[in-house]
């Protein structure tokens, strides 16, 4: 018995190796794996076994077993030595009954060793008569050092928090002004935790941020432990830590002969300073003894589900024992026993035993009894008929073999693969057990590597960490200021801040400027935060130097965000550039919200098109009108009349189309507002991949007539020979031609081309435009003037293109029109 850092576990390993055979039960798979590697180095890998729920390495001649408490062999008659580590966990609400059972029944043939806190001593003496108790003092001294701000926490410290959110927030702050921290949480896989611990142990980072999982068996070179809080949720309620729990965590500080300190984080909302009584108890290792240990029947009867539940809820037979709170395996058993369909499938004693084994599947995903019971129920439907097939197992494992995603996603996949790794270890559950177990371990290893990479990328700034180790903490005392775009450290120019992109002056990389460079990087988040506040203020007073160009939003010429494809062409998504990564999260969020407001105002010229888009989503428009409106939105407010489906619209639908600001012309259907230069430029930014949205014509004044370029027709123009005419100007000319026809009321008539020529159209281009709209010349052949005098003016007649009748082939109408034109020419 004794506090942390007394060498208890080291002694147990020595005694294990001194015997011809033996086993040690550990509280953590991680600790069992660590000791397994040490014993393998002494005894050889072919004689040492590792037995945990998710991993079993059992050589044929294995004589020394390293196990988790739950996976320890129940019968140890053939083992000379048996040890149980952290036996005070017998008072744990969830796992206490397991440790109590091992304490009462796990025995070695020659020697049995129970390791734990001195608080367990009265219970051991009461339950095991004649036991020999050896108390060991702590190697080093543990002292309280009071509360410290996070920026003042010394290097080689562990900051302990009690929620994932608090761990992430603390690690983010340490990344900003200390270069980063390693992260250790109970939800991480052992491989990821080992990799993170190695970052700390190797000195790559000087800080470790962890949950209370760090207090159980992790041997680290920690000099100071800082509590970010003194309360936690224990699965039932939020409560203050007991002094024994505080001491277990604080005891990580100071290893072997090196003294350690502990304290709290000043300014933390949940951190409350230790009381004098708690400080005294932790420093002097004086804690109230345990009065009860949790117990549950270790060998229940399997006659029926009811008998099994009754035995598991039976009261203990010793006054020192207390009934264990309902663990998740018993909660799942009771939930599924109430399901008549499942209960009917569990009849014989063998089936009851097998069903209880399935219910004891650990809840690695921490989803609670309700959700976990559904997973167990699905598993039982397969296991009740025999073993799981190799193809099914391989499919389930392969679905989780995806290394993309954020930290939480990867943690969820690792928890899921741990469930399948546990299942694969059962010889009576899975065909091809060894192969499936190897696959599960390989997937867990890949996911662990990916998670380690994500944690390192998010919480460690390697360059700052290296500089801080070399330059010390005095770099934070240097003054840093921003003048226009220049970043000055102690008056020295070391770089520039253009927009939010920091560019280091190459001269600042000289060895005598390293201290200045480190100080600037430490203060850069503060400078960027102030810059973000200035930009937000300028956006709100309409003076922001923001520009939208080629799908990017720039600030002073530097790109800060991009427009990505959204759910609709007029609803792009805003994606922040990496230059904003160093802006503190609250300021970055507020800045992006302000930029979104600016973008919304910037896209106001596209409002007519947005109204059309909203109308296209209305069921009242009808399928024909909705189809036309969707075409208009996708094409930026202009489509050719041919093939648009306009002829199928009823009169009321055409009226509704007009009310939306859509102009129906002779050749095109368009929104006049979308022909303005600003609207065309904005549409080009939303659809930069459209080859017709050429910047040459978008940024101009949208002249009525321009020369025709090669290979493409710009948006908003119609080709008429060697020239292009804007579609609204073309409609104006054709409307005037129809007015002349209607006024004269003759079969043929003369059209004055002066209006077209005043726009810049040539006579051939004007005639081609008229032909496109259905006008045909009645005297197309004109002989030279020297033969017959001045040519007669062209006379025109209008022959609209006949639409195909219902059921008629679509080529028939154009053929009829061509035949009529040839007949006129013959006449």
Could you write out the DSSP letters of every residue in 552-588? EEEETTEEEEEEEEEEETTEEEEEE-GGGTTS-HHHH
pLDDT given for residue 314 in this prediction = 93
Any idea what DSSP says for residue 722? T
pLDDT given for residue 335 in this prediction = 93
Which residues are paired to 718 by β-bridges? 725
pLDDT of 512 above 50: no
Question: Token pair of 387, please?
Answer: 């073993």
pLDDT of 823 above 50: yes
3-state secondary structure of 176: helix
278, 279, 291, 15: which is closest to 134 by C-alpha?
A: 15
pLDDT of 813 above 60: no
- CATH no., domain 8-127: 3.40.50.300
The β-bridge relationship of strands 486-489 and 717-720 is unpaired
Identical fold for domains 8-127 and 142-284, yes or no, is: yes
Distance from C-alpha of 528 to C-alpha of 250, rounded to nearest angstrom: 37
Tens-digit pLDDT profile for residues 295-311: 999 899 999 999 999 99
Please enumerate, as own/partner, the contacts of 594-599 that have beta carbons within 8 Å and a separation of 24 or more: 594/535, 594/536, 594/539, 594/540, 595/539, 595/546, 595/553, 595/560, 595/561, 597/539, 598/539, 598/544, 598/546, 599/548, 599/553, 599/574
The β-bridge relationship of strands 48-51 and 56-57 is antiparallel
- Is 510:541 a contact under the CB 8 Å cutoff? no
Residues near 268 by beta carbon (within 8 Å), at least 6 away in sequence: 228, 229
Least confident of 477-486, 549-558, 634-643: 477-486
Distance from C-alpha of 206 to C-alpha of 90, rounded to nearest angstrom: 35
For the entire predicted model, the pTM comes to 0.57
Please report where in the chains the tokens 């939930």 appear, as a residue. Answer: 335
Residues near 748 by beta carbon (within 8 Å), at least 6 away in sequence: 778, 795, 796, 797
Q: How many CB atoms lie within 10 A of CB 233?
A: 10
673, 690, 478, 710: which is closest to 569 by C-alpha?
A: 690
Topology of 142-284 in CATH?
A: Rossmann fold (3.40.50)
461 vs 525 pLDDT, higher one: 525
Most confident range (mean pLDDT) of 109-118, 226-235, 615-624, 778-787 is: 109-118
3-state secondary structure of 747: coil
Where in the chain are the domains?
8-127, 142-284, 311-452, 494-602, 603-702
Name the band, by pLDDT with cuts 50, 70 and 90, for residue 66: very high
pLDDT given for residue 696 in this prediction = 43
> Counting Cβ atoms within 10 Å, is residue 630 exposed (0-12), middle (13-18) or buried (19+)?
middle
């Amino acid at each position: 018995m004794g506090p942390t850092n007394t060498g208890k576990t080291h002694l147990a390993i020595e005694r294990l190796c001194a015997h011809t055979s033996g086993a040690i039960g550990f509280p953590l798979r991680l600790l069992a794996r660590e000791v397994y590697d040490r014993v393998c180095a002494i005894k050889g890998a072919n004689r040492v076994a590792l037995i945990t729920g998710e991993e079993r390495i059992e050589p044929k001649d294995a004589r020394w077993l390293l196990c988790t408490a739950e996976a320890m062999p129940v019968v140890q008659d053939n083992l000379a030595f048996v040890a149980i580590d952290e036996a005070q966990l017998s008072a744990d609400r969830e796992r206490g009954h397991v440790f109590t059972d091992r304490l009462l029944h796990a025995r070695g043939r020659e020697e049995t060793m129970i390791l734990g806190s001195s608080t367990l001593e009265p219970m051991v003496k009461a339950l095991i008569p004649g036991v020999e108790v050896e108390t060991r003092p702590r190697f080093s001294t543990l002292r309280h050092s009071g509360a410290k701000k996070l920026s003042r926490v010394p290097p080689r410290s562990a900051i302990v928090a009690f929620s994932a959110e608090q761990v992430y927030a603390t690690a983010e702050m340490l990344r900003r002004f200390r270069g980063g921290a390693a992260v250790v949480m109970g939800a991480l896989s052992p491989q990821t935790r080992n990799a993170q611990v190695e970052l700390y142990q190797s000195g790559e980072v000087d800080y470790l941020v962890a949950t209370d999982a760090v207090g159980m068996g992790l041997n680290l070179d920690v000099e100071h432990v800082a509590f970010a809080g003194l309360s936690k949720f224990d699965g039932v309620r939020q409560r203050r830590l007991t002094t024994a729990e505080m001491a277990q965590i604080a005891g990580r500080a100071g290893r072997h002969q090196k003294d350690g300190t502990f304290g709290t984080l000043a300014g933390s909302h949940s951190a409350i300073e230790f009381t004098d009584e708690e400080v005294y108890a932790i420093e002097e290792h004086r804690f109230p003894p345990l009065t009860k240990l949790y117990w549950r029947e270790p060998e229940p009867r399997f006659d029926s589900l009811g008998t099994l539940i009754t035995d598991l809820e039976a009261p203990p037979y010793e006054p020192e024992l207390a009934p264990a709170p309902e663990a998740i395996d018993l909660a799942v058993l009771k939930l599924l026993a109430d399901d008549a369909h499942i209960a009917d499938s569990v009849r014989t004693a063998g089936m009851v035993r097998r069903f209880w084994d399935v219910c004891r599947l650990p809840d690695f995903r921490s989803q609670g009894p309700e959700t976990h019971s559904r997973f167990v129920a699905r598993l039982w439907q397969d296991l009740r008929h025999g073993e799981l097939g190799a193809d099914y197992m391989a499919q389930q494992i392969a679905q989780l073999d995806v290394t993309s995603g954020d930290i939480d996603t990867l943690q969820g996949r690792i928890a899921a693969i741990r469930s399948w790794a546990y299942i694969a270890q059962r010889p009576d559950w899975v065909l091809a057990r060894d192969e499936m177990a190897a696959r599960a371990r390989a997937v867990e290893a890949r996911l662990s590597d990916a998670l380690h990479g994500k944690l390192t990328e998010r919480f460690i700034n390697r360059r700052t960490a290296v500089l801080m180790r070399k330059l010390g903490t005095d770099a934070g005392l240097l003054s840093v200021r921003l003048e226009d775009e220049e970043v000055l450290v102690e008056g020295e120019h070391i770089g520039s801040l253009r927009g939010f992109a920091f560019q280091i002056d190459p001269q600042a990389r000289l060895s005598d400027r390293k201290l200045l460079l480190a100080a600037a990087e430490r203060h850069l988040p503060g400078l960027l935060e102030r810059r973000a506040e200035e930009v937000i203020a300028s956006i709100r007073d309409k003076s922001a130097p923001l520009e939208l160009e080629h799908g990017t939003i720039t600030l002073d010429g530097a790109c800060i965000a991009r427009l990505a494809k959204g759910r609709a062409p007029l609803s792009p998504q805003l994606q922040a550039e990496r230059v904003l990564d160093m802006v503190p999260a609250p300021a970055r969020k507020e800045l992006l919200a302000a930029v979104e407001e600016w973008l919304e105002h910037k896209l106001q010229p596209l409002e007519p098109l947005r109204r059309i888009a909203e109308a296209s989503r209305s069921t009242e428009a009808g399928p024909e009108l909705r189809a036309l409106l969707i075409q208009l939105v996708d094409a930026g407010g202009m489509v050719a009349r041919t093939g648009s489906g306009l002829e199928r619209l009823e009169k009321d639908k055409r009226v509704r189309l007009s009310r939306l600001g859509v102009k129906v012309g002779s050749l095109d259907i368009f929104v006049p507002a979308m022909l303005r230069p600003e609207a065309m430029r904005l549409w080009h930014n939303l659809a930069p991949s459209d080859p017709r949205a050429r910047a040459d014509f978008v940024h101009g004044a949208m002249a009525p007539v321009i020369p025709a370029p090669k290979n493409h027709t710009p948006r908003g123009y119609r080709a008429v020979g060697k020239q292009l005419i804007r579609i609204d100007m073309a409609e104006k000319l054709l409307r005037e031609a129809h007015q002349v026809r209607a006024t004269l009321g003759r079969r043929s008539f003369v059209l004055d081309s002066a209006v077209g020529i005043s726009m810049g159209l040539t006579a051939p281009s004007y005639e081609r435009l008229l032909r496109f709209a259905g006008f045909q010349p009645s005297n197309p052949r004109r002989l030279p003037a020297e033969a017959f005098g001045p040519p007669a003016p062209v006379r025109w007649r209008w022959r609209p293109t006949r639409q195909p009748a219902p059921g008629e082939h679509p080529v028939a109408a154009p053929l009829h029109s061509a035949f009529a034109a040839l007949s006129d020419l013959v006449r």
